[in-house]
A and B are shown apart, each in its own frame.
Chain A
């Protein structure tokens, strides 16, 4: 019988805990930004602020070095890649909103 022990990661892995923390905060901010942004007449100003906060959290999360072997580390590296992709996309979206806002302001 082969017992595959799950990789147990305790408090000795602060990097992973920190990564998860920033992932969570980024997810919360960007989810809320998206919710506003997805509405046609959504509160774009608020969405811009939430995107900015989410982007900061993603940057903090990506900055964390994930060094280690095993399932949990593989998963953490995978998560880091996803966060990096979302950082680029969120930045693009933020730029679109900011540009749109500036154009609207100039027309007034």
Chain B
């Protein structure tokens, strides 16, 4: 199933943080990334996600 491979990194990360938060753990921020070490379209998408959420708070 490709869906597992295509899970957006952002969603995966926030899920991991959710689990870690609940367990009271501090995630190691320097965890090696599986992807390449250069900016990818994924990185851009992640920044877009932050923009959207910040914009929503501004309107609230």
Contacts and interface: CB of A to CB of B under 8 A. Distances in A.
Is this pair of chains taken from one and the same complex?
Answer: yes
Interface in B2-34: 10, 13-14, 17-18, 21, 27, 29, 33
Contact of A9 (B38, B44, B48): B38
A92 B55 CA distance: 10
Given A28-B13, A89-B51, A20 B43 contact: yes
Interface of A: 9, 13, 16-17, 19-21, 23-25, 27-28, 30-32, 34-35, 37-38, 72, 75-76, 78-79, 82-83, 85-86, 89-90, 92-93
Interface of B: 10, 13-14, 17-18, 21, 27, 29, 33, 36-41, 43-44, 46-51, 53-58
